[in-house]
Amino acid sequence: MKVLFIKESSAGKKGEVRELSSGYAENFLIPKGFAVVATPQIQAKLEKEGKEAEIKKLKEIEKLNALKADFEKREFQIKVKVGDKGQVFGGLHEKDVAKFVAGKMGINIDKSQLDLGGIIKAIGLYEAKLKLAAGIIAKLKINVSAL
């Protein structure tokens, strides 16, 4: 008997269709709510949802690649207080840069997505990496200057 798992079980994962003995399916999995009988209509619906999810994922990747290109063509100018030798007071951390870039771009950026390679302690031009998604990393140009 073919069953579609609707909950995680030792016999299968959620969304998985498996061929199992009818006794196990009818006496345990279906009554306990772990699975339903995989009729041709359910299987067709599952395939359709899988294709829709794949299309949605591709659109999201395309959107993130466009955002990456937008980030990489910009240079972010951050003005900070500096001492008489050009050192930045307190330094610029991932949190500060993420907040600044998020404000300029109008999107949410978490400090964990940003990699500066250390605290910025002097004025100058820096490059940072912004992880938008798995495998999509934008390189940001950050120009730190005095107020």
Q: What is the chain's Cα-based Rg?
A: 25
Q: How many Å apart are CA 31 and CA 98, to the nearest integer?
A: 50
Average pLDDT, the chain: 91
Give yes or no for residue 86 having a pLDDT over 80. no
CB 142 within 8 A of CB 88: no
In a 3-state reduction of DSSP, which class is residue 1?
A: coil
Cβ neighbours of 120 (radius 10 Å): 21
pTM: 0.67
pLDDT of residue 21: 94
pLDDT of residue 147: 84
Give yes or no for residue 24 having a pLDDT over 90. yes
Q: How many Å apart are CA 125 and CA 116, to the nearest integer?
A: 12
Q: Band of the pLDDT at 87, cuts 50, 70, 90?
A: confident
Strand partners, 130: 114, 138
pLDDT of residue 88: 84
Q: Which residues fall within 8 angstroms of residue 81, CB to CB, at 6 or more apart?
A: 88, 89, 146, 147
